[in-house]
Amino acid sequence: MVAPDLVPIIENIAREGGLSTKVIVEDYSEIIKTEKSNKLRKPEFSWTAYYDIDDINGYLKNMSKSYPKSTKLIIGGKSYEGRDILGLRIKTQSNKEKPVIFIESDYGTSKDPCDYQTYGGSKPFSEIETRTLSEYISKLDNLKGYIAFHADAQLLLLPYSDSTEHDQYYDDLKKIGQTSLDYGYEVNKEKYEGPATAAELLYKASGGSMDWVHQTVGTPLTFTYELRGNHFHWPSNRIPEQGDEVTQMMVGLTTEARKLGYFSKN
């Protein structure tokens, strides 16, 4: 994102380096205004608007109160500001031994200590958010799956991010992942790349939660979905479109995993 008065400077630098430039969004403020206006027009929580953390936490609390038999509010950890990291557990009363799948959606990190919002820390779990959430995940009984949703590249990533080597689960993960993508494709006819290791589809990197849960916690089914979008922006009025697609992906994932015996009792 470039300020208007800096555009000529950036274009000159690009030309000197033999690079071409292309304007993707002329005025990003218009997108932000539209998203804010969508939120303000809707008195209740809507699927066609983006919300801040207070609104989302309020929604989670309301859901747990409205549906106490099928949902439970969970505290997965603490933030640097001392806030609870909230989540919603969808459950049934019939069987406490059912397999657990943990789903999260967050953003990447920065190596800059001054970037207080996204600083990843000086070492693994040096920051309270990752430390407390990792402790919560480690204590989950019967954890069979871990799914991370990111944006935006239309990819399905498998472990590992720092190596192109395949472990004993790779063939099953690839089969499960392909079924998931096939289910999602039937909704909007959108193709995703993969499934393959993150190192193969993107680049080698370390520190991914998917890898840690797979290797250290020992959870077999771990996936990272890079969803659709345009430079990390997805129009708020099209949230249901992507939501329908992701829902079918999850149906495909769990259907194939069940066929392969991952949800059977140990």
The pLDDT tens digits along the chain (266 residues) read: 788 888 888 888 888 888 888 887 777 676 666 666 555 555 578 888 888 889 999 999 999 999 999 999 999 999 888 999 999 999 876 666 789 999 998 766 777 777 766 777 788 888 888 899 999 999 999 999 999 998 878 999 999 999 999 999 999 999 999 999 999 999 999 999 999 999 999 888 876 899 999 999 999 999 999 999 876 778 888 899 999 999 999 999 999 999 999 998 65
What pLDDT does residue 182 have?
Answer: 98
Instruction: Please compute, for residue 76, the number of CA atoms within 13 A of its CA located in the half-sphere on the CB side.
Output: 17
Within this chain, do residues 7 and 37 fall inside the same structural domain, yes or no? yes
What pLDDT does residue 31 have?
Answer: 64
Contact between residue 134 and residue 170 where contact means Cβ atoms under 8 Å apart:
no
Within this chain, do residues 114 and 243 fall inside the same structural domain, yes or no? yes
Within this chain, do residues 102 and 87 fall inside the same structural domain, yes or no? no
Within this chain, do residues 244 and 212 fall inside the same structural domain, yes or no? yes
Within this chain, do residues 47 and 137 fall inside the same structural domain, yes or no? no
What pLDDT does residue 126 have?
Answer: 86
Within this chain, do residues 207 and 126 fall inside the same structural domain, yes or no? yes
Within this chain, do residues 102 and 200 fall inside the same structural domain, yes or no? yes
CA 207 to chain centroid: 15
Report the amino acid identity of residue 55.
Answer: D
Within this chain, do residues 128 and 83 fall inside the same structural domain, yes or no? no
Contact between residue 199 and residue 157 where contact means Cβ atoms under 8 Å apart:
no
The reply to whether 97 belongs to the active site is no
- Cβ neighbors of 72 (< 8 A, separation 6 or more) are 64, 88, 89, 91
Within this chain, do residues 150 and 72 fall inside the same structural domain, yes or no? no
Domain hosting residue 4, numbered range: 1-41
CA dist 226 and 65 (Å) reads 32
- Cβ neighbors of 131 (< 8 A, separation 6 or more) are 77, 125
Helix, strand, or coil (residue 239):
helix
Looking at the structure of the chain, the number of domains it has is 3
Residue with tokens 């949902």: 71
Q: Which candidate in 81, 104, 127, 226 is catalytic?
A: 226
- pTM here is 0.82
Strands (E), 106-182: 143-151, 155-158
Contact between residue 127 and residue 120 where contact means Cβ atoms under 8 Å apart:
yes
| CA distances to 28, 65, 148, 237 from 60, in Å | 30, 9, 19, 21
Contact between residue 151 and residue 225 where contact means Cβ atoms under 8 Å apart:
no
Helix (H) or strand (E) holding 16: helix 7-16
What pLDDT does residue 155 have?
Answer: 95
